[in-house]
Amino acid sequence: MNLFEYKLSVVRQVMDKYEVAEEAKFISGLSKGSMVNALSRKKKLPNKEAKFTRYVIYTVDVERIIDMMEEPYRTVIKKRYYDASLDTVKKDFGLQNKREAYFLVKKSVNKFYDLLENYWK
């Protein structure tokens, strides 16, 4: 697993938990419940040191982090384009080729992950 795949797995986990909490109407009790236990980086990337100091994030903070992102990165994360095919991303964002679509997805995941990492610091 390379670093981007690890970041993508963390973003997927955070968004999965966020969507489950949103669907289950847990948003009214945000201050009481934690959402996500982050994966340990030492297990997935043995040559890297763990950068997470806290392992909990709340749904209200996920919403705030998504709102901090600029377009089109916010749309890629919010509508889960990182799980879609590159053809779909290319068509929906009006890009020239799959390479541009891949870099848009990669940049979106990296930005969201960096905001999460700063949240945990």
> Closest Cα partner for 95 from 73, 66, 103, 78?
103
- Report yes or no on whether pTM surpasses 0.85: no
Residue 104: predicted pLDDT: 95
pLDDT at 93: 94
pLDDT recorded at residue 20: 76
Q: Which residues contact 78 (CB under 8 A, 6 or more apart)?
A: 66
- For the chain, the farthest-separated pair of C-alpha atoms sits apart, in whole angstroms, at 46
The amino acid at 35: M
pLDDT per residue rounded down to tens, the chain (121 residues)? 788 888 888 888 888 877 777 766 554 444 444 555 555 544 444 334 344 434 556 667 788 889 999 999 999 999 999 999 999 999 999 999 999 999 999 999 999 999 988 876 6
Helices (H) and strands (E) in the chain, counts: 6, 0
26, 33 contact by CB (below 8 A): yes
Contacting residues for 99 by C-beta, under 8 A, at least 6 apart: none
